[in-house]
Amino acid sequence: MKGYLYVTDLDGTLLTPGGVLSKYALRMLQELQGEGAAITVASGRNLTSIKQALGDLEIHLPLISSDGALISTYKSSSPLFAFSMERPGVDELLETLLSQGYSPLLDILDGDRNFTAVKDLANHAMVVFKGQKTAEPDAEFTHVADLRSLLKHQILSITLMETKEKILRALAMVKNHPEFKVDWMEYPGLPGYNLLWIQNRRARKEEALDKLMELTGYTKDKVIVFG
């Protein structure tokens, strides 16, 4: 396995349906690392969420998080490369969403800190996403009274978790915007709720993989991607 770079997705690939790394997978990956295998991650999760999911597994190479928007080391989210949302487009988008009653989640990069910011968990889908029954803060969620105050930092993505009707209205506002990449899906297991992700149009895992190869010195024929 030496001489190759192994890049794996997490959800639907490496993790259990519950979103964690099994003890068996942890043991096997640690053994492979001990034998010299170069293993890293490319995930839609932000860095904090990746660390929570992987538990005791440490990634020694740069990794891709936030669906291609950030390349960093495992120990620090200080960017080696980032595709953040550009101003003034993101300022205008956030103002429009807030003025129309949306409760966006912002994936924020503040120096070497990567976290999710939210004003409040305004509906059932957001509470479920957080993984608990009540809207109590935890390590990944930072509650901010005025999300506009975060525009001074890099915003890697804006996520909406709303009813299908509200998501369709938001989608109509952003789907043809030249600066944004938009992904939309039904919320798994929650009928009536949808998810909408908005990012810099260049925040894609494919482009991030090219940058990762530059950073690590591997060529395409030496990179194996899972998921």
Q: 154: closest CA among 98, 72, 57, 218?
A: 72
Confidence at residue 140, expressed as pLDDT on a 0 to 100 scale: 65
pLDDT by 10-residue block (mean), the chain, 227 residues = 92 90 94 95 91 91 95 88 95 97 94 88 88 48 93 96 96 94 92 96 94 95 94
β-pairing, 38-41 vs 5-8, is parallel
Question: Counting beta carbons within 10 angstroms of the beta carbon of residue 93, is it exposed (0 to 12), middle (13 to 18) or buried (19 or more)?
Answer: buried
- Same topology between domain 5-82+204-226 and domain 89-200: no
- Enter the CATH code of domain 5-82+204-226: 3.40.50.1000
In this prediction, residue 137 carries a pLDDT of: 44
For position 135, what pLDDT does the model report?
Answer: 39
Q: What is the pLDDT of residue 139?
A: 54
3-state helix, strand, coil in the chain (%, to 5): 30, 25, 40
The reported pTM is 0.86
Look up the CATH number of domain 89-200.
Answer: 3.30.1240.10
pLDDT value, residue 114: 85
Neighbours of 178 (CB within 10 A): 6
Domain range list for the chain: 5-82+204-226, 89-200
